[in-house]
Structure 1
Amino acid sequence: MTDIRIEQLHVPDNLDGEGAADFLRAVEVSRQVRVGTWGNDDLAYTGEELLALCHDPYEWYVMLVARLDGQIVGRAGIAMPLDDHTELAHVTLDVLPSAEGRSLGRRLLEAAESFVRGENRRVVVVETNHSATELQSEQEGGGDERLLHPAAGPGALTLENRQARFAHNAGYQLERVEHFSSCALPFPAERAAELLESATASHGDEYAVHQWTDSCPEEWAADVARLEAEMGQPAGEGPWDVAHMREAEEISQSTGRHTLVTAAESRASGRLVGYTSISVLGKRDDVVFQDDTVMEDGHRGRELGLRMKLANLQLLARDYPNPHAIYTWNSAEDTHLIEINARMGFTVAGVTGQWRKSFDPGD
């Protein structure tokens, strides 16, 4: 008889301590799932990264594991903010392909939901990841009647997809579809020169570029906070000001992560009108992530975003030359940034579905 157990995983103090073997096994399960989805482990947590996440003072991170005949073959990571948005819980599910077909994902999700409801969390958010190859195969075999459209923005996922069908059947609503793309590094010098020439021809010397790493210079702090508040924060994320921005910088640096920023100043107004950022992980230096690119509406369409991104890649190459790839996510409706990324040589690797389930009475 097959023995299946769902239990909370003890988080060790370090990777050499008591319970470290089970913790590292859960890390390996997560890594293998990402290799199966994307073909590499670039998006997988290292043991050091996940351990740091579990000890984050601003977010309570709990792991449940599924054991099959004593062996860990699945995990549910539960992230619960401790400062803002204390009604939320983000759940990440990983089950080894070899263990699928035994309802382990369903049992892990039900256990995670029970746990977070016991902590008075009313909203659970989960993600599903879909490679471009997988999506193409499914779209060729399914009709429009099998498509799920998100509550916000364009894009769709098909119920032919196992993950999408799982989330849908578990009572989750598809909120948003995001494009996931990558670009090989180092960035070709010839391509950079060609794109920079085009950008310069579009806006001349109307803007000055400023750069920094980790901490925004005080002279630009109010401008960056304003841009973030006006353009960069999703609805419902609450107030954003300089104090909040400084706290976010401290949290990022406490994990060993570095943030590279390139911002554009309008020479006419003397204030920042846009910025872009890249994250360098603290525990691995072979991949990096393109984060926010924010621009005031009146300055769009002049290839300023392209110029900022190129300058930030130059800063990355100078200070962090080891990454072999840069990854980014974009909302499907953000066609402007998707077009810029395509011009730079980013290729679509797939999409991520954002799903939401509310436990509020009446929802």
Structure 2
Amino acid sequence: MTDDVEIGQLWIPDSLAAADAKDFLDAVEVSRKVRMQLWGSDDLAYTPLEKLLEMADPYERQIILVARIDGRIIGTVDIALPLADNLDLAEFTLDILPEFQRRGAGRRLLEAAEQLARAEGRTMAMVDTNHPAASLQGDAGGQLVPGSGLGSVPMASREVDFAQRAGYTLQHIEQFSSCALPLDSKLVSELEAEADAANGGRYRIHHWTDRCPEEWLDAVAALENAAGEAVDDDAAGGVEEQLVFDAGMLREAEDAAIAQGRRTVVTAVEHLASGRIVGLTTIGVLAQRQDVVFQDDTTVLQEHRGNKLGLLIKVANMQRLSEQFPDARVIYTWNAPENRYLLTVNKQLGFTTAGVTGLWQKELPARAGTTSSE
């Protein structure tokens, strides 16, 4: 029954202690409970303060719609509208309390999010579905393969059925993995020796936290731009426009991360003969919860691959992470299934598959009364 469901925009308070913060706290708790049901833990759930800080992200406008029954918030949809690139895109994250699923609230929320996105001039919507490893067992006939042709999601999934009924098409799969921290010291020694033997002393690693040293700013910007020409990332996405980075933009991104309470542990590798930064890996740490961390991008320039630089910098960065943030107990990462090299490196490090994320797209029709000049 959808008649009892009321849809509205969530008020974002100035602080969690404000008198008008209750609805915001309730909405964050809905998302936490959904992740508890899905993954068996709240490792992937925002704390209220983390979510409040994220709402001030300068690179995307964020809006939250909520569904209420008898005044109680029973579902949310986060709407992210990129402001720097992908200006035609709206990304939705939909959560409905388990006991209120299959009652039409999710469809009402998604339709409201699509209407808002169209009003903002967005023409493409993206949603994700998440599937724990235990749900991935079964024959190939029970799996839906994305447009990329790699990976799959279970056809029997409620989320898959919902996305298809809502008119979304599965475009891409990301493999979701986790690894316990700290790494075993014997394993670290073995992997370091393997990487050192492959690169033959031709490279040197560098570390920093939060802010890139001034001397490497331009080199890192050049690496980011070169990496955009060929995907080699831990968190490879579906359809992304690549920004052209410069030193100023990197500093702005660092400032934004710090303002949102995020820490960033970085290891880079320098090619000694050229003095050029040719590889980089980063791990993100949420300041309010340092026991759960996230592997971000790992990039090695094409011409320097084959020297096990990805292994070299990832081992070094995970070691540095444990030194700086000893409370970190687990690290999560997402990988495109076609990125066999990084998946192999992750397996060497001890990552195991936790599940998959399906990325779904839908073209949004233009609003009635609008015209195109093209």
Distance 1:154 1:219 in 2: 40
1:327 Cα deviation after fit = 0.6
Contact 2:53 2:261 in 1 (8 A): no
Which residue of 2 is the match for residue 118 of structure 1? 119
Contact 2:131 2:153 in 1 (8 A): no
Distance 1:24 1:246 in 2: 32
**CA distances 1:291-317 after superposition (whole Å, capped 9, x unpaired):** 111001222222211111111112112
Which stretch has the larger CA shift, 202-211 or 52-61? 52-61
Contact 1:153 1:177 in 2 (8 A): no
Which residue of 1 is the match for residue 285 of structure 2? 280
Question: Is 1:243 matched with 2:239?
Answer: no
Q: Structure 1: 5+ residue runs without aligned partners?
A: none
Letter in 1 for 2:104: S
1:189 Cα deviation after fit = 1.0
Please list, as runs of the form range in 1=range in 2, the aligned pairs for 1:87-102 lying within 5 A after superposition: 87-102=88-103
Which residue of 2 is the match for residue 330 of structure 1? 335
Question: Is 1:205 matched with 2:210?
Answer: no
1:360 Cα deviation after fit = 5.2
Which residue of 1 is the match for residue 26 of structure 2? 25
**CA distances 1:217-260 after superposition (whole Å, capped 9, x unpaired):** 22222221122112147752232222222221121111121111
**CA distances 1:43-81 after superposition (whole Å, capped 9, x unpaired):** 100000111122334422111111122221111111112
Question: Is 1:171 matched with 2:170?
Answer: no
Distance 1:68 1:30 in 2: 16
**CA distances 1:16-36 after superposition (whole Å, capped 9, x unpaired):** 213311111111110011111
Letter in 1 for 2:356: V
Distance 1:201 1:57, change over 3 A: closer
Distance 1:235 1:44, change over 3 A: closer
Which stretch has the larger CA shift, 250-259 or 177-186? 250-259
Contact 1:65 1:76 in 2 (8 A): yes
Which residue of 1 is the match for residue 176 of structure 2? 180
Which residue of 2 is the match for residue 11 of structure 1? 12
Which residue of 2 is the match for residue 48 of structure 1? 49
Which residue of 2 is the match for residue 321 of structure 1? 326
2:130 alignment partner, SS class: strand
Contact 1:153 1:332 in 2 (8 A): no
Letter in 2 for 1:173: T
Please list, as runs of the form range in 1=range in 2, the aligned pairs for 1:124-143 lying within 5 A after superposition: 124-136=125-137, 139-140=138-139, 143=140
Distance 1:18 1:85, change over 3 A: farther
1:343 Cα deviation after fit = 0.6
Which residue of 1 is the match for residue 236 of structure 2? none
**CA distances 1:132-168 after superposition (whole Å, capped 9, x unpaired):** 01122xx24xx52x54322335112232211112112
Distance 2:277 2:10 in 1: 46
**CA distances 1:244-301 after superposition (whole Å, capped 9, x unpaired):** 2222112111112111111111112221111111111122111111111100122222
Distance 1:46 1:210 in 2: 32
Structure 2 residue corresponding to 1:162, chosen from 127, 152, 158:
158
Question: Is 1:340 matched with 2:340?
Answer: no
Letter in 2 for 1:326: I
Which stretch has the larger CA shift, 19-28 or 54-63? 54-63
Distance 1:308 1:266 in 2: 13
Which portions of structure 1, spanning 4 or more consecutive aligned residues, are displaced by more than 6 angstroms?
Answer: none
Contact 2:178 2:333 in 1 (8 A): yes
Contact 2:221 2:247 in 1 (8 A): yes
Give me the TM-score of the superposition, normalised by structure 2.
0.91
Please list, as runs of the form range in 1=range in 2, the aligned pairs for 1:230-269 lying within 5 A after superposition: 230-232=226-228, 235-269=240-274
Q: Structure 2: 5+ residue runs without aligned partners?
A: 232-238, 367-371
**CA distances 1:86-110 after superposition (whole Å, capped 9, x unpaired):** 3221110001111112011111100
Matched residue pairs, number? 357
Letter in 1 for 2:267: T
Distance 2:64 2:240 in 1: 28
Letter in 2 for 1:177: I
Give me the TM-score of the superposition, normalised by structure 1.
0.93
Contact 1:123 1:358 in 2 (8 A): yes
2:290 alignment partner, SS class: coil
Alignment identity in percent? 49
Which residue of 2 is the match for residue 296 of structure 1? 301
Question: Is 1:222 matched with 2:208?
Answer: no
